[in-house]
Amino acid sequence: MQYLPREEGQGLVEYALIIALVTIVEFVLLALLGPAIGNIFSNIVAAL
């Protein structure tokens, strides 16, 4: 039987990289849009 490289951990690493990338994108979006979203909720609460 020929030697076949084990690729079992490869999928796990790819999923971890995708999760890390999504997390970074979420933090950037929250940093950019956070104040605007906060202002919207403040306006809603003030109107009540």
pLDDT at 28: 95
DSSP-derived 3-state class of residue 48: coil
Q: What is the pLDDT of residue 12?
A: 84
Check residue 10 and give its pLDDT.
74
Name residue 19's amino acid.
I
Condensed to tens digits (0 to 9), the pLDDT of residues 1-48 reads 566 666 666 778 899 999 999 999 999 999 999 889 889 999 999 998
- For 34, how many CA atoms within 13 A lie in the half-sphere containing its CB? 7
pTM of the full structure: 0.59
